[in-house]
Every structure is written in C-alpha cells, then in structure tokens.
Structure 1
C-alpha cells in the first residue's frame, strides 16, 4: 500500500459526504451522470448549478497537482497497450459506462454515495453490480494482458 493516506482520505470522504448531504437537503442528487445528463438539452433554469458543479469537479482536479498533490502514481497506460488500442479501449469503455449509467438510472456517485446514504435498496443492488462487474473486468484484462 504505497499511497495509503488515511487522513487525506478521511478529509476527502467528509467533504464528499457533506457536499452530497447539502445537495440532498436542497432536493438534488450529487450523481454525475444525472447532473451532466440534465444539461442535455440545456435549460437556463437548471443549467447554472449543473455547470458550476461540473466546473468545480474539473477545477478541483486541476488544482490538485498545483497545490502540491502527487500524481506521479497515475499510470495512463498501465497495460502497455499501443496508442491505437489504448485510445480505442478508452472510447469503448466510455461508451459502455454511458450506456450503463443510462440502463442503471445513475452512476456510482449517485447510487453509491447518495443512494446508499438514503438506504435505497435499488442503489445498493446497483452499487454491488458496479463493483462485481469492475472486479470481473480487471480480472479479465489482467488475464488477457498477463499483467
């Protein structure tokens, strides 16, 4: 466990939990797929907070290394795929995730953070499904690539 940071992880979890609770108190779910999907087609009444939320996600990620966060452990191409295969895999994965969030009526943040927090059985089943499929995909990819 090279990158175990219990205090930073706890702080991040608390910030995420507080943010999700505040959004829920305002009648909104902090699910990224729902927030992004609500921008298509855009309506000004509902777009402003969604755009700010997405900009906050992007801004937070951009500020992380600027504020001293270490991203050296991130390996963009961990299986050493060629660039063509790597980009094709990313495109296919993105399309599958988009289809899955549509079929599952939400994403890991909506179901996993907000739904389970609301004691939703549907969200618990969805999150368990996400985790099992993720474990299977990692297993299959590692078996295929030998890494």
Structure 2
C-alpha cells in the first residue's frame, strides 16, 4: 500500500469513527459492515422512541418515523448502504458509509439536513452477523 493510500485509509477510518460516535444510537441497532475492505460498526434499523401512552406528540412523531422508515425500506433506498462524501484538506474526496441501511437515517437524524446529504454508497458492503452480547463492548 502506498503512502498516499495508507494516509487516505487512516483518514477514512478516523472520519467514520467520529461520525458514528456522533450518531445517537442503541447497540442492538448496530451492524458490522465490511466496505471496501474496512470494517465499520454502523447504525442500522429504526430504533423508535419510547413514548408514554398519553403523550400524543411523541406517539405522533414515533408513528411518522416508523411510516417513513417502512416506506423507504420497501423501495430502492432500502437496498443500499448510506454514505456521505467529504473533501479532505488535500482536495481528495472520500465516500464513507455512515448507515448500514440508507433508510435508517430517517430514524437516527434529528432533522433532515443529514438525510439530504446522504447518498447511496457506490459499492456494496458485506453485513456480518455478530453475537448481540458482543455489542456491549462497542
């Protein structure tokens, strides 16, 4: 691996770890994905908020979130990893996965700003089955 490629790989891994650490997620909704030879622990699925039975606002938001996710998962978006593309200081662009499923962004993001920046990853990733007991380590 050349020096430039190793620097790019290191930058890619650091950016992915920073972004994934910023995503507000629960461990049972994470998936290990191998993307272009690198393993990522990515948010997946749609963790719905816990609402009290009489909290109409929360229950409405929960219902809307679930409906948006279910509609998305049945379409083309449900077949892809969710990626973002960023420009490094060297002007090189990199694309990294941030969601194990494109549709998960609707459940994790507080507003649609990030969802609007999300794109289908240009390459397929491999999702791995992981013992749920191990996720307490992540």
Normalised TM-score (structure 2): 0.30
Q: Which is strand-richer, 1 or 2?
A: 2
Q: Which is helix-richer, 1 or 2?
A: 1
Normalised TM-score (structure 1): 0.29
Task: Report which of the two structures shows the higher radius of gyration computed on alpha carbons.
Answer: 1
